[in-house]
């Protein structure tokens, strides 16, 4: 873990910032040098190194776009689930029930093939359709994580803030939500890392991400071991770097409450 590399005399903020910067720099270096490094590998990897690099970048782009969308959707759905309005709770519950109860692959295929039939003007390209489906999927899981965080905040703190005369909006934004976000952060991080791997299902609608690249190369060369091993190692490198970024965020918020 990169956090452990920094001097212990540094503050939590300094160590978390250094971890975030180092992880992002490493990620940029890996993505920029991946094609060059793979070009030294034996066939069929070397001649297709650029394709692997482009696939890795597409995978990361899918993850980032869908992750941001999923965080926004999850927050909105969690607030709706805890709302006093019954119709809002019903809509949010229906969304979470439908998404969590159906396979992600079916959702991706539905958004790409079925949605334009139902809504003719909403004919999305493959990348956008994958982002929508992945965002909707991770949003449902984020909603439950954030809702659990909201419910975990002691009710007495809300009542104390109101007793001090704080408006309802300030009570939520300044007292409830920061604590709820800190509680929900570990499952949110887990969902984001899982999203990076789940983005591989976008190959089903033709998105040329990492898995699709590997599948095309192994189909053309009939060398599945070398090709799929390279795909797996690339995913492992990406998830490791993303995990370091998320560890830096967790360290900044002192999720475990043990950082000095």
Residue 15's alpha-carbon distances to 186, 201, 211, 255, 258, in angstroms, are 19, 36, 35, 14, 14
- Averaged confidence pLDDT in the chain: 90
pLDDT digits (tens, 9 = 90+) for 138-150: 999 999 999 999 9
List, in order, residues 6 or more apart from 154 with CB less than 8 Å away. Answer: none
* pLDDT of 100 strictly over 50: yes
CA gap 23, 36 in Å, rounded: 20
Helix ranges (DSSP H) in 153-256: 155-163, 168-170, 177-198, 210-221, 224-253
Tokens (6 digits) for 14? 């300094």
pLDDT of residue 257: 55
Residue 68's alpha-carbon distances to 57, 74, 116, 217, 226, in angstroms, are 17, 10, 24, 31, 33
CA gap 22, 166 in Å, rounded: 40
Mean pLDDT of 205-212: 94
Instruction: Report the chain's terminal Cα–Cα distance, integer Å.
Output: 17
Confidence of residue 260 (pLDDT cuts 50, 70, 90): very low
Q: Is 222 left (phi over 0), alpha (psi -120 to 50) or beta?
A: left
pLDDT digits (tens, 9 = 90+) for 214-233: 999 999 999 999 999 999 99
How much is the pTM? 0.91
Three-class secondary structure of residue 124 per DSSP: coil
């Amino acid at each position: 873990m990169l956090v452990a590399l920094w001097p212990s005399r540094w503050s939590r903020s300094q160590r978390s910032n250094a971890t975030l910067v180092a992880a992002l720099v490493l990620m940029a270096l890996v993505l920029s040098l991946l094609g060059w490094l793979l070009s030294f590998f034996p066939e069929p990897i070397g001649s297709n190194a650029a394709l692997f690099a482009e696939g890795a970048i597409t995978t990361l782009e899918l993850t980032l776009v869908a992750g941001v969308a999923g965080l926004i959707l999850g927050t909105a759905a969690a607030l709706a689930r805890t709302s006093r309005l019954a119709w809002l709770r019903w809509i949010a519950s229906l969304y979470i029930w439908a998404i969590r109860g159906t396979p992600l692959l079916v959702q991706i295929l539905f958004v790409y093939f079925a949605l334009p039939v139902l809504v003719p003007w909403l004919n999305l390209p493959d990348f956008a359709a994958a982002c929508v489906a992945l965002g909707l999927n991770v949003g449902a899981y984020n909603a439950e994580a954030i809702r659990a965080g909201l419910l975990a905040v002691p009710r007495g703190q809300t009542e104390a803030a109101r007793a001090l005369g704080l408006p309802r909006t300030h009570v939520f934004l300044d007292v409830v939500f920061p604590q709820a976000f800190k509680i929900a952060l570990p499952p949110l991080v887990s969902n984001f890392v899982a999203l990076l791997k789940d983005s591989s299902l976008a190959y089903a609608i033709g998105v040329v991400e990492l898995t699709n690249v590997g599948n095309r190369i192994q189909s053309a060369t009939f060398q599945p071991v070398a090709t799929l091993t390279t795909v797996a190692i690339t995913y492992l490198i990406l998830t490791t770097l993303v995990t370091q970024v998320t560890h830096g965020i967790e360290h900044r918020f002192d999720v475990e409450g043990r950082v000095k």
